[in-house]
C-alpha cells in the first residue's frame, strides 16, 4: 500500500524553499515548492523557455540541461535538489551572438527540422564533446540515445556531431 | 508535473538520512537520482509525504580494499561507474551493465543503489490512473490485478527490471545496509523479497550504503546481455549475466553463476542450469543444454507486451550466447596467465 | 537555363535555423500571458457508456476554480474532419448523452493552478451506465453488434457501424481473373501507430475586447480558425490564430481538437487567458492515432507478370467518430491505382466505427499500409512466376503521359525510371536471394527488397488556395506575408528562396511573416502535401508581380521599354547597356514619388486544378485528385538474426521524382525522416490497446527509433521538371510519400533474408521467429512426405 491518505496530504505543509542556481553563468534565486521540477523552474521561474517540456517522464530528452556539467533530464530533477548548482541551457551555448561550432554544424548538416528536440539534443551533444572531443559512432550513439528526434532520422544529427568534432564526412550533393 | 505536495529534507550524512527516515516513518522516501521515484510519483504510484534527499551526502569513488575487494558507494552514479577506470579494469561486467541502463541522462542521474532499489514494473502500474484503470490494483492498495485478473490479493506479478542487479548477483556482491541500529551486511540476493507488492527486504528505516565485490578468481569469465527492441532508452526484455570459473584443465567448469533480470518479481538465479555446468566439460552442447534449462526454470512473466513464449525463446538464445562469451573470456584469461 | 538559378535548387540554410538552435524559437508552450489559468479536461473512463448525470457543483465550489463547462454550456455545433453533404459534421466538442471511447472529453475546467485543477477534476461527478463496446471493425460491422452510431444511410444494408464507404470499379474484374494465368488472394494487417510529435498538443486562448487570440500547435492556422469560429459561433474576424513554431505534427495536429475549443470557451467565460496542455499520456490514451487498415487483395496476372485484374477490400478501424476514416478509405483506392496500370479494378472500402479513439491522418495517410500490402503481394506473385522483383514492377509501372482512370495525368512522372535507378544503385538483383541460396556462416542473414509508391501533391480541400504578398521595403529588401506554416519541413526557407530568385534579391533580404490569420493571406496549410507547389507558386507569382512593377517604374524613369530591363542583385539594368541602371532603393523611391505614393507590393495566388470545381467524391472516387503525382522506388537492406528473430534496417535507397527540388537539403531531410519513421513502423512501434484502454501511453514502451536505429539513407532524384523564373513550375510531393515504398521494401527484404513472409506489421522478433519455425515445420513435413 503505497498511496497515503489524501486527507493527511491536504493537511501537509510543504513550504517553498529558496534555491540558488547559477544559470548560464548568472546566479538566480528562486523560491520553489519541492514538487517543482527543474524544467518547470527554468521555464516558468527563470524565464528561459528554450528548454522544452515534452514527455515529462525522462523518456525523450527534450528537457536535457547540463547540471554541474552532467546532461540530465530536467523533468526528473527537483529544483530544490539543485541548490548551489550550475545549470546550462541552450540559451547559454552562444557566445554573445556567435553560434558554437556545434550549433553551426546543426544548421549546416540538416540536424534541425521542427526544432523541438534540438535544445536537448544540443545539450547532450555539448556534454559529449566536452568529455570526448573526437567521439566515434558508438560513443555518439550512447551519448544521444536519450534524445528522441522524430523528424530527421538522426542522420543529420550524427553528421553534425562528427563535423563539429572535426570528423567531417564528405557532404553529398 | 507532480500533482501533489510533499516535503523535502536534505541529509548531510547517511546516518542522518536513516535517522530522518526513522523519525518520519512509512510516509517518507529516500531520493537519490530520482529516475525511478519521480516517474512513479508523477504516476502517483508512490505518494510520499516527505522526500529525504541524499544529494548532500559525499559519495566516495569506487576503491579497492586491502583484500582486493572493490567497494562501490551506493550513491555512485551509473555513468561514473561506467567510466571509472578501476571498474573498467577489474569489473568490466559491472561497467557493461551500468552502460546498458536507460539512456545517457538516466545514467548521469541514477545511482547504483537506486538501480537496485527500483520499483517493479507493469504496463498498467506505470501510468497515471486518472481515467484509465481508475480503481486501484493490489499494488496501489486496491482490490484487483489488471493484467492477471485471477491473481490473489497478495500476488502482484510486476517485474523487477534492474540491469545492474543480475550482474552483481553473478559477481556474488555483498551489501552494506545502514539502519537505525547500525550497519548490517547482506548478500545481494537477500535484498530482493520476490514479492511484487514489496520487492525489497529493506526495513522502513534502512539505507543501502555500499556494494562490495570480492576479487575475481583465476580462470574466470563473464557474459552479459540486455535484450531490447531498440538500442537504448529501454527497460530490458530480458537480462542475462553469467560468470564461469574453470578448473585448471581449462575445459571443466568449476563454478557457474547465472543471474537473470526482467523475468520475475526479482532477479533470479538459475540453479538447474548452474548445476548442469558445474563439474562438466563445457562443450557447445552442454552450454545449450544449460541455457535451455535456465530459460525453462526462469518461467518468465509476460511483461511489457512480450509473450511468455517469446521471452523464453529470447532467454534461451542469449543465455547460451552469454555463456559462450563467459567461457571464451575465462579461456582467454587463462591464456594470458 | 538551370545554371542561371541562384537560390532555387540550392541547399540554402534554414531560415528558422538560428532561432531553433539558440532556444529563441517560440513554440506554443513558450507563449506566456499574465494571469493565465490552467485548463484541464475530464475524460471518460469507459469505452462506451451512457452519461446518466453530470454534477459539476462541487468542482465549481472549490476555491480557485474559475469555470467549468460541459456540453450543455456549448452551442451544440458539430464539427468533423470531413464536412460534406454526404458526411456532415458528426462530433460535438464535448460528449453529449454518451461516451464512445476511453478518454473522450466530458467536461473541462479552468483553475488558478495545476493542483487546484486536478482536485477539481476529482470533484466532478459523472454517473455512467456502461454499454457493451466493440473494438474490432469486422465484429463491429456484423449485424447485431453494439451500435456506436447508426450506419451511414448509404452503407450496404444490414451492416452495423459503417461510417462511410468508398466503392469504385473499372473494366471487368471477374473477366480479368478468368483471363489471368495466375491469381492469388492475400490479407494484410497493420498495427496501431501514432505520430510521435515531440511537442505535445497545447493551446493558449485569450478573449479580449471581443477578440479571441489563440496560440495552438497545428498544421494549418486557417483551418483551425474556420473550425474554431464555427463551433464557437463567432465571425472569423473575431478569431485570430497567432504564429508559433510547431514542434512536429506528422498529421496529428490537423482537425479541431476538443481542448482547443475548451481553452477558448473557458477564456471567454473567465476573461482570462487559459492554457491547456495535453500530457503525453493523454495524447496516447485519448488523442488521435493513425488508421489501422486491413486489406484483402486479389490479383490476377499474365505469365509475364502483367497485372490483369485486381480486387481490393479495405476495412478501416475508424475509432469512435468519423474523423478522417472516410478519407483514408478513399485514399486507399488512390494509392492502389497510381503506380501500376490495372486494367480491371474493383475497390471497396469500409470505414467502421469502433470504441477506440478517433483517428487522424498520419504521414502517408493510408499509403504505407496499402503499398506494404500490394508490394508484398507483387513479390509473392513474381516468385510464383519465376521472375524477379524488378521485372514485375517494370512490367506494370506507369510512365510519362499516362491518363489515370479518374482523369488525372502522370505528366512527366516516371515510375519506371525510378525503379530502374533504384535497382541499379542498390545492386538489387546481384544481392537478391543471395543469403537464401547460399546461407552464410553464423546467424545473421542479409536481405534486400524493393517497394514503390506514388503520392499526390496538393488537392482540393478547405481552404483550397493560397495567397502570398510581397512588400518591397525602401532599401530594396522584401517582407513576405504568407499563411504557410512551418512545421519543420522548411516552408519559410523554400518560400524565401523562391521570392529571392524571382525578385533578384538574396534570401537574407527576404523576411517571412507567416501563418498568422490576421496579418497573412489565407493558406492551404501543411497537411495535403501541396505547400511547395501551391503556396510556392503563389509566392513566385507575388514576387514576380513585384518584379514587374519594379521594372515598369524603372522603365518609365529610364525611358526604355520594361522588357529591355532585367532585375538582379537589387538593381534594375538594361540588357544591352548595363550603364543604364537603377537600384531597387531608387526604383521604390521613384515609385512613391511618381505614383501617388505607391509603395511596391506584389500579390500572388494559386490553387491546384483551377478547372476542377471541388475535391473528388470520397464515396465514388469521381473527379480529379491532383495535378502532380510524385513517384518513387525504394530499396531496403535488412539484417535478421535467424536465431533470435531480431531484425534491423541497414540501408535504404530512395529514388524519387519530386519534380524539381527547390532545396535539395530539405528534400533529403524529408527522406531520412521518412525512412526512420518507416523503420519504426516496420520493426518496433505499436500502440497496445486492450478493451479500449492504452497499455503503453509513453515513449518507453511505444518505441520510436532512437539514434541507435539510424539507417544509412541514400537517395537519388529523378528530376522531371524544371524551374524557370517567371514561369509556373511543378514540384511534387516529397514529405509523406516516401514512407511507404521503403516499408514494403523492408517486408520484402525480411523475406529475402529469411524466407518468412509477414502479412502484418510490425515485423517483431517474435513474428519472424514464428515464421522461421513454421518454415522448419513445413520443411520437415515435406521431407517426411518424400520419404514416405
Query: Does any CB of chain B come closer than 8 Å to the CB of residue A73?
Result: yes
pLDDT at C190 over 80: yes
Q: What is the mean pLDDT of residues C636-655?
A: 98
Query: Does any CB of chain B come closer than 8 Å to the CB of residue A114?
Result: no
pLDDT at C3 over 70: no
Cβ–Cβ gap B49/A40 under 8 Å: no
C614 pLDDT tier (thresholds 50, 70, 90): confident
Same domain? For A87 and A105 the reply is no
Same domain? For A157 and A134 the reply is yes
| Mean model confidence pLDDT for chain B | 96
Best mutation target among A73, A147, A161 (most B Cβ atoms within 10 Å) is A73
Q: What is the mean pLDDT of residues C151-179?
A: 97
Alpha carbons B21 and A78: distance in angstroms, whole number: 19
C401 pLDDT tier (thresholds 50, 70, 90): very high
Task: Say which of C42, C285, C708 has its CB closest to residue B231.
Answer: C708
Alpha helices in B225-305 (DSSP H): 271-277, 284-298
Same domain? For A54 and A119 the reply is no
Identify whether B127 is part of a domain.
Answer: no
Query: Does any CB of chain C come closer than 8 Å to the CB of residue A85?
Result: no
Chain B neighbors of C693, CB-CB under 8 A: 132-133
Closest residue, chain C, to A151 (C-alpha): C673
Residue A14: the pLDDT is: 77
Same domain? For B69 and B195 the reply is yes
DSSP secondary structure string, C70-95?
-GGGS----B-S--SSSS---B-SS-
Give the cell for residue C86: 454526404
Please report, for the domain that includes residue B325, its CATH number.
3.30.390.50
Cβ–Cβ gap B307/C766 under 8 Å: yes
Q: Please list, in sequence order, all residues whose beta carbon lies within 8 angstroms of the beta carbon of residue C17, skipping any fewer than 6 positions away.
A: A106, A107, A112
- For chain A, which chains pass the contact test of at least 3 CB pairs under 8 Å? B, C
Alpha carbons C388 and C370: distance in angstroms, whole number: 21
- How near does any CA of chain A get to the CA of C451, in Å? 20
C786 pLDDT tier (thresholds 50, 70, 90): confident
pLDDT at A171 over 70: no
Cβ–Cβ gap B141/A3 under 8 Å: yes
C787 pLDDT tier (thresholds 50, 70, 90): confident
> Which of A70, A92, A114 corresponds to the end of one domain?
A92
Cβ–Cβ gap C103/B126 under 8 Å: no
Q: What is the mean pLDDT of residues C529-550?
A: 97
Chain C neighbors of A93, CB-CB under 8 A: 21-22
Same domain? For A23 and A53 the reply is yes
Cβ–Cβ gap A148/C706 under 8 Å: yes
Identify whether A61 is part of a domain.
Answer: yes
Same domain? For A21 and A79 the reply is yes
Best mutation target among B38, B105, B141, B196 (most A Cβ atoms within 10 Å) is B105
Looking at the DSSP bridge assignments, the partners of residue B71 are: B63, B212
Owner of C-alpha cell 535517522:
B19
> Which of A33, A64, A92 corresponds to the end of one domain?
A92
Which helix (H) or strand (E) covers residue C65, if one does? strand C65-69
- Centre a 10 Å sphere on the Cβ of residue C135 and count the other Cβ atoms it contains: 18
Same domain? For A88 and A19 the reply is yes
E-assigned strands of C171-210? 182-188, 202-208
Task: Say which of C25, C674, C700 has its CB closest to residue A115.
Answer: C25
Task: Say which of C45, C121, C644 has its CB closest to residue B317.
Answer: C644
- How near does any CA of chain A get to the CA of C583, in Å? 31
pLDDT at A11 over 50: no
Same domain? For B181 and B306 the reply is no
Same domain? For A107 and A145 the reply is yes
Query: Does any CB of chain A come closer than 8 Å to the CB of residue B59?
Result: no
> Which of B22, B39, B56 corresponds to the end of one domain?
B56
Strands C307-319 and C344-353: parallel
Query: Does any CB of chain B come closer than 8 Å to the CB of residue C200?
Result: no
- How near does any CA of chain C get to the CA of A82, in Å? 22
Q: Please list, in sequence order, all residues whose beta carbon lies within 8 angstroms of the beta carbon of residue B161, skipping any fewer than 6 positions away.
A: B118, B120, B121, B235, B236, B261, B262
Same domain? For B239 and B166 the reply is no
- How near does any CA of chain C get to the CA of B178, in Å? 33
C752 pLDDT tier (thresholds 50, 70, 90): very high
Chain B neighbors of A142, CB-CB under 8 A: 99, 104, 232
> Which of B56, B80, B101 corresponds to the end of one domain?
B56
Chain B neighbors of C707, CB-CB under 8 A: 231-232
Identify whether B228 is part of a domain.
Answer: yes
CB-based contact B31:A38 (threshold 8 Å): no
Best mutation target among C19, C707, C709, C717 (most A Cβ atoms within 10 Å) is C707
Alpha carbons C529 and B144: distance in angstroms, whole number: 48
For residues C212-245, one letter each, b for 16 or more C-beta atoms within 10 angstroms of the residue's C-beta and e for the rest, the string is bbbbbbbbbbbbbbbbbbbbbebeeeebbbbbbb
Same domain? For A75 and A139 the reply is no
User: What does the pLDDT look like over A43-92, one tens digit per residue?
Assistant: 999 999 999 999 999 999 999 999 999 999 999 999 999 999 999 999 99
Query: Does any CB of chain B come closer than 8 Å to the CB of residue C703?
Result: yes
Identify whether A25 is part of a domain.
Answer: yes
Alpha carbons C358 and C258: distance in angstroms, whole number: 12
A15 pLDDT tier (thresholds 50, 70, 90): confident
Same domain? For B104 and B209 the reply is yes
- Report in angstroms the alpha-carbon separations of C242 from B321, C216, C220, C229, C385: 57, 8, 11, 14, 58
Residue A168: the pLDDT is: 73
Identify whether B138 is part of a domain.
Answer: no
Q: Which domain covers residue A147, as residue numbers?
A: 101-164
Identify whether B144 is part of a domain.
Answer: no
Residue B189: the pLDDT is: 98
Cβ–Cβ gap A2/B102 under 8 Å: no
CB-based contact B283:B248 (threshold 8 Å): no
Q: Which domains does chain C have, with CATH numbers?
A: 2-25+461-607 (3.30.365.10), 31-131+206-249+253-275 (3.90.1170.50), 293-459+615-774 (3.30.365.10)
Q: Which domain covers residue B105, as residue numbers?
A: 65-117+159-213
Identify whether A34 is part of a domain.
Answer: yes
Query: Does any CB of chain C come closer than 8 Å to the CB of residue A128?
Result: no
Identify whether B94 is part of a domain.
Answer: yes
Looking at the DSSP bridge assignments, the partners of residue C319 are: C353
Strands C565-568 and C307-319: unpaired
Write down how long chain A is: 173
Best mutation target among A88, A94, A115, A126 (most C Cβ atoms within 10 Å) is A115
Identify whether B147 is part of a domain.
Answer: no
Query: Does any CB of chain C come closer than 8 Å to the CB of residue A94?
Result: yes
Closest residue, chain B, to A81 (C-alpha): B55
Residues of chain B with confidence (pLDDT) below 50: 336-337
Same domain? For A88 and A113 the reply is no
In chain A, how long is the greatest CA-to-CA distance?
66
Same domain? For B169 and B299 the reply is no
Residues within 8 A of A (CB atoms), B 281-310 only = none
Same domain? For B201 and B324 the reply is no
Residue B334: the pLDDT is: 64
Residues within 8 A of A (CB atoms), B 144-173 only = none
Residue B333: the pLDDT is: 78
Residue C163: the pLDDT is: 97
Please report, for the domain that includes residue B99, its CATH number.
3.30.465.10
User: What does the pLDDT look like over B164-190, one tens digit per residue?
Assistant: 999 999 999 999 999 989 999 999 999
Identify whether A173 is part of a domain.
Answer: no
Residues within 8 A of C (CB atoms), A 1-40 only = none
Query: Does any CB of chain B come closer than 8 Å to the CB of residue A144?
Result: yes
Task: Say which of B3, B123, B126 has its CB closest to residue C115.
Answer: B3
> Which of B29, B56, B83 corresponds to the end of one domain?
B56
User: What does the pLDDT look like over C580-603, one tens digit per residue?
Assistant: 999 999 999 999 999 999 999 999
Same domain? For B43 and B72 the reply is no
Cβ–Cβ gap A9/B2 under 8 Å: no
Task: Say which of B34, B35, B140 has its CB closest to residue A2.
Answer: B140
Query: Does any CB of chain C come closer than 8 Å to the CB of residue A153?
Result: yes
Please report, for the domain that includes residue A23, its CATH number.
3.10.20.30
Alpha carbons B328 and C179: distance in angstroms, whole number: 62
- For chain C, which chains pass the contact test of at least 3 CB pairs under 8 Å? A, B
Please tell me the total count of domains within chain B. 3
Write down how long chain C is: 788
Identify whether B84 is part of a domain.
Answer: yes
User: What does the pLDDT look like over C541-557, one tens digit per residue?
Assistant: 999 999 999 999 999 99
CB-based contact B265:B122 (threshold 8 Å): no
Alpha carbons C290 and A90: distance in angstroms, whole number: 33
Q: What is the mean pLDDT of residues C517-540?
A: 96
Query: Does any CB of chain B come closer than 8 Å to the CB of residue A57?
Result: yes
Strands C601-607 and C465-472: antiparallel
Best mutation target among A109, A114, A163 (most C Cβ atoms within 10 Å) is A114
Cβ–Cβ gap B232/C707 under 8 Å: yes
Strands B174-179 and B207-213: antiparallel
- Report in angstroms the alpha-carbon separations of C266 from C14, C28, C68: 37, 18, 8
pLDDT at C82 over 90: yes
Please tell me the total count of domains within chain A. 2
Identify whether A4 is part of a domain.
Answer: no
Identify whether A171 is part of a domain.
Answer: no
Cβ–Cβ gap B230/C697 under 8 Å: no
- pLDDT > 90 in chain C, percent: 97
In chain B, how long is the greatest CA-to-CA distance?
63
- For chain B, which chains pass the contact test of at least 3 CB pairs under 8 Å? A, C
Same domain? For A88 and A22 the reply is yes
The sheet with strand B7-10 has its strands ordered as: B7-10, B50-53, B28-31
> Which of A60, A92, A124 corresponds to the end of one domain?
A92
Identify whether A51 is part of a domain.
Answer: yes
Cβ–Cβ gap B104/A142 under 8 Å: yes
Residue A4: the pLDDT is: 46
Same domain? For A115 and A88 the reply is no
pLDDT at A7 over 90: no
CB-based contact C324:C307 (threshold 8 Å): no
Same domain? For B250 and B326 the reply is yes
DSSP secondary structure string, C608-670?
S-TT--SPPPTTT--S---S-EEEEEEEEEEEEETTT--EEEEEEEEEE--SS-SSHHHHHHH
| Mean model confidence pLDDT for chain C | 97
Chain A neighbors of C711, CB-CB under 8 A: 153
Residue A172: the pLDDT is: 44
Give the cell for residue C464: 483550397
Which helix (H) or strand (E) covers residue C567, if one does? strand C565-568
Task: Say which of A57, A91, A112 has its CB closest to residue C23.
Answer: A91
Identify whether B132 is part of a domain.
Answer: no
Amino acid at each position: 500500500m503505497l498511496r497515503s491518505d489524501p486527507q493527511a496530504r491536504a493537511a501537509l505543509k510543504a513550504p517553498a524553499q529558496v534555491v540558488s542556481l547559477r544559470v548560464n553563468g548568472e546566479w538566480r534565486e528562486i523560491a520553489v515548492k519541492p514538487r517543482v521540477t527543474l524544467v518547470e523552474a527554468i521555464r516558468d521561474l527563470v524565464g528561459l523557455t528554450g528548454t522544452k517540456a515534452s514527455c515529462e517522464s525522462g523518456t525523450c530528452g527534450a528537457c536535457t540541461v547540463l547540471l554541474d556539467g552532467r546532461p540530465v533530464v530536467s523533468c526528473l530533477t527537483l529544483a530544490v535538489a539543485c541548490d548551489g548548482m550550475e545549470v546550462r541551457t541552450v540559451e547559454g551555448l552562444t557566445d554573445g551572438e556567435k553560434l558554437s561550432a556545434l550549433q553551426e554544424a546543426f544548421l549546416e548538416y540538416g540536424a534541425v527540422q521542427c526544432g523541438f528536440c534540438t535544445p536537448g539534443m544540443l545539450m547532450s551533444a555539448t556534454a559529449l564533446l566536452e568529455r570526448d572531443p573526437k567521439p566515434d559512432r558508438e560513443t555518439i550513439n550512447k551519448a544521444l540515445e536519450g534524445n528522441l528526434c522524430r523528424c530527421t532520422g538522426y542522420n543529420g544529427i550524427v553528421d553534425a556531431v562528427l563535423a563539429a568534432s572535426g570528423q567531417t564526412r564528405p557532404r553529398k550533393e | 508535473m507532480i500533482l501533489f505536495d510533499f516535503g523535502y529534507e536534505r541529509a548531510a550524512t547517511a546516518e542522518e538520512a536513516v535517522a530522518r527516515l526513522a523519525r518520519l516513518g512509512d510516509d517518507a522516501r529516500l531520493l537519490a537520482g530520482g529516475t525511478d521515484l519521480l516517474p512513479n510519483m508523477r504516476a502517483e504510484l508512490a505518494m510520499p509525504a516527505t522526500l529525504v534527499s541524499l544529494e548532500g551526502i559525499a559519495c566516495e569513488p569506487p576503491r579497492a580494499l586491502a583484500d582486493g575487494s572493490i567497494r562501490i558507494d551506493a550513491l555512485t552514479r551509473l555513468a561514473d561507474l561506467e567510466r571509472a577506470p578501476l571498474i573498467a579494469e577489474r569489473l568490466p561486467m559491472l561497467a557493461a551493465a551500468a552502460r546498458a541502463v536507460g539512456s545517457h541522462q538516466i545514467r548521469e542521474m541514477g545511482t547504483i543503489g537506486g538501480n537496485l532499489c527500483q520499483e517493479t514494473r507493469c504496463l498498467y502500474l506505470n501510468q497515471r490512473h486518472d481515467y484509465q484503470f481508475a480503481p486501484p490494483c493490489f499494488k496501489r492498495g486496491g482490490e484487483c490485478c489488471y493484467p492477471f485478473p485471477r491473481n490473489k490479493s497478495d500476488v502482484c506479478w510486476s517485474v523487477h527490471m534492474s540491469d545492474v542487479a543480475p550482474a552483481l548477483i553473478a559477481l556474488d556482491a555483498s551489501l552494506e545496509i545502514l539502519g537505525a541500529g547500525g550497519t548490517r551486511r547482506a548478500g545481494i540476493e537477500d535484498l530482493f523479497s520476490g514479492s511484487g507488492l514489496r520487492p525489497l527486504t529493506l526495513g522502513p528505516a534502512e539505507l543501502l550504503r555500499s556494494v562490495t565485490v570480492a576479487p575475481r578468481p583465476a580462470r574466470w569469465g563473464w557474459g552479459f546481455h540486455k535484450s531490447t527492441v531498440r538500442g537504448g532508452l529501454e527497460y530490458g526484455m530480458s537480462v542475462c549475466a553469467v560468470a564461469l570459473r574453470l578448473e585448471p584443465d581449462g575445459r571443466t567448469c568449476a563454478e557457474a553463476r547465472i543471474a537473470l533480470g526482467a523475468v520475475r518479481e526479482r532477479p533470479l538465479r538459475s540453479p538447474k542450469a548452474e548445476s548442469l555446468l558445474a563439474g562438466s566439460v563445457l562443450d557447445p552442447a552442454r552450454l545449450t543444454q544449460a541455457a535451455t534449462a535456465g530459460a525453462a526454470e526462469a518461467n518468465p512473466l509476460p511483461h511489457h507486451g512480450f509473450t511468455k513464449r517469446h521471452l523464453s525463446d529470447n532467454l534461451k538464445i542469449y543465455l547460451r550466447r552469454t555463456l559462450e562469451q563467459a567461457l571464451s573470456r575465462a579461456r582467454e584469461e587463462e591464456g594470458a596467465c | 537555363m538551370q545554371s542561371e538559378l541562384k537560390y532555387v535548387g540550392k541547399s540554402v540554410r534554414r531560415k528558422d535555423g538560428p532561432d531553433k538552435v539558440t532556444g529563441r524559437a517560440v513554440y506554443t508552450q513558450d507563449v506566456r500571458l499574465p494571469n493565465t489559468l490552467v485548463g484541464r479536461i475530464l475524460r471518460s473512463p469507459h469505452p462506451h457508456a451512457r452519461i446518466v448525470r453530470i454534477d459539476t457543483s462541487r468542482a465549481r465550489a472549490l476555491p480557485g476554480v474559475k469555470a467549468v463547462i460541459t456540453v450543455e454550456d456549448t452551442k451544440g455545433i458539430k464539427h468533423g474532419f470531413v464536412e460534406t453533404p454526404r458526411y456532415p459534421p458528426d462530433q460535438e466538442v464535448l460528449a453529449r448523452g454518451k461516451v464512445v471511447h476511453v478518454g473522450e472529453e466530458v467536461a473541462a475546467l479552468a483553475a488558478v493552478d495545476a493542483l487546484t485543477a486536478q482536485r477539481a477534476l476529482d470533484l466532478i461527478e459523472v454517473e455512467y451506465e456502461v454499454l457493451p463496446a466493440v473494438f474490432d471493425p469486422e465484429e463491429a460491422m456484423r449485424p447485431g453488434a453494439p451500435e456506436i452510431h447508426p450506419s451511414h444511410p448509404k452503407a450496404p444494408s444490414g451492416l452495423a457501424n459503417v461510417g462511410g464507404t468508398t466503392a469504385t470499379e473499372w473494366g471487368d474484374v471477374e473477366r480479368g481473373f478468368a483471363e489471368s494465368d495466375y491469381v492469388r488472394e492475400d490479407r494484410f494487417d497493420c498495427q496501431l501507430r501514432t505520430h510521435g510529435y515531440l511537442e505535445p498538443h497545447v493551446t493558449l486562448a485569450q478573449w479580449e475586447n471581443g477578440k479571441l487570440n489563440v496560440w495552438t500547435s497545428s498544421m494549418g492556422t486557417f483551418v483551425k480558425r474556420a473550425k474554431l469560429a464555427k463551433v464557437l459561433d463567432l465571425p472569423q474576424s473575431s478569431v485570430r490564430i497567432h504564429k508559433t513554431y510547431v514542434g512536429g505534427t506528422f498529421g496529428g495536429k490537423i482537425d479541431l481538437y476538443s481542448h482547443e475549443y475548451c481553452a477558448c470557451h473557458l477564456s471567454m467565460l473567465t476573461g482570462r487567458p487559459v492554457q491547456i496542455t495535453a500530457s503525453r499520456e493523454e495524447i496516447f490514451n485519448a488523442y488521435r492515432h493513425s488508421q489501422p487498415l486491413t486489406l484483402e487483395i486479389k490479383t490476377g496476372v499474365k505469365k509475364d507478370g502483367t497485372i490483369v485484374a485486381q480486387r481490393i477490400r479495405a476495412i478501416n478501424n475508424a475509432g469512435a467518430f468519423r474523423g478522417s476514416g472516410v478519407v483514408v478509405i478513399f485514399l486507399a483506392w488512390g494509392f492502389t491505382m497510381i503506380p501500376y496500370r490495372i486494367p480491371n479494378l474493383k475497390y471497396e472500402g469500409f470505414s467502421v466505427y469502433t470504441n477506440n479513439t478517433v483517428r487522424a491522418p498520419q504521414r502517408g495517410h493510408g499509403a504505407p499500409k496499402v503499398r506494404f500490402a500490394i508490394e508484398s503481394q507483387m513479390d509473392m506473385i513474381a516468385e510464383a512466376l519465376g521472375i524477379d522483383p524488378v521485372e514485375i514492377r517494370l512490367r506494370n509501372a506507369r510512365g510519362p503521359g499516362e491518363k489515370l482512370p479518374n482523369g488525372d495525368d502522370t505528366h512527366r512522372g516516371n515510375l519506371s525510371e525510378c525503379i530502374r535507378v533504384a535497382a541499379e544503385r542498390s545492386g538489387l538483383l546481384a544481392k537478391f536471394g543471395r543469403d537464401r541460396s547460399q546461407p552464410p556462416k553464423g546467424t545473421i542473414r542479409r536481405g534486400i527488397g524493393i517497394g514503390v509508391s506514388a503520392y499526390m501533391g496538393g488537392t482540393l480541400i478547405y481552404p483550397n488556395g493560397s495567397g502570398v504578398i510581397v512588400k518591397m521595403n525602401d532599401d530594396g529588401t522584401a517582407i513576405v506575408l504568407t499563411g504557410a506554416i512551418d512545421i519543420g519541413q522548411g516552408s519559410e526557407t523554400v518560400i524565401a528562396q523562391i521570392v529571392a530568385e524571382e525578385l533578384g534579391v538574396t534570401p537574407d533580404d527576404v523576411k517571412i511573416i507567416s501563418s498568422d490569420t490576421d496579418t497573412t493571406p489565407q493558406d492551404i496549410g501543411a497537411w495535403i502535401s501541396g505547400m511547395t507547389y501551391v503556396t510556392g507558386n503563389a509566392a513566385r507569382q507575388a514576387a514576380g508581380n513585384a518584379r514587374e512593377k519594379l521594372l515598369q517604374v524603372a522603365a518609365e524613369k529610364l525611358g526604355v521599354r520594361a522588357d529591355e530591363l532585367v532585375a538582379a542583385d537589387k538593381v534594375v539594368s538594361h540588357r544591352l547597356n548595363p550603364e543604364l541602371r537603377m537600384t531597387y532603393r531608387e526604383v521604390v523611391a521613384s515609385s512613391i514619388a511618381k505614383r501617388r505614393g505607391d509603395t511596391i507590393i506584389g500579390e500572388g495566388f494559386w490553387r491546384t486544378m483551377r478547372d476542377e470545381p471541388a475535391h473528388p467524391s470520397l464515396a465514388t472516387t469521381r473527379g480529379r485528385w491532383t495535378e502532380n503525382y510524385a513517384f518513387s522506388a525504394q530499396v531496403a537492406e535488412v539484417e535478421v538474426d535467424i536465431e533470435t528473430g531480431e531484425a534491423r534496417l541497414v540501408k535504404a535507397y530512395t529514388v524519387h521524382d519530386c519534380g524539381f527540388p527547390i532545396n535539395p537539403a530539405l528534400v533529403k531531410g524529408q527522406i531520412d525522416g521518412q525512412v526512420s519513421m518507416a523503420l519504426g513502423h516496420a520493426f518496433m512501434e505499436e500502440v497496445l490497446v486492450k478493451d479500449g484502454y492504452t497499455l503503453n501511453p509513453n515513449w518507453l514502451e511505444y518505441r520510436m527509433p532512437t539514434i541507435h536505429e539510424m539507417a544509412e539513407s541514400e537517395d537519388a532524384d529523378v528530376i522531371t521538371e524544371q524551374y524557370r523564373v517567371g514561369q509556373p513550375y511543378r514540384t511534387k510531393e516529397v514529405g509523406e510519400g516516401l514512407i511507404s515504398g521503403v516499408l514494403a521494401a523492408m517486408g520484402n527484404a525480411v523475406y529475402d533474408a529469411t524466407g518468412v513472409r509477414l502479412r502484418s506489421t510490425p515485423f517483431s522478433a517474435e513474428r519472424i521467429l514464428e515464421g522461421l519455425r513454421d518454415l522448419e515445420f513445413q520443411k520437415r513435413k515435406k521431407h517426411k512426405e518424400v520419404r514416405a
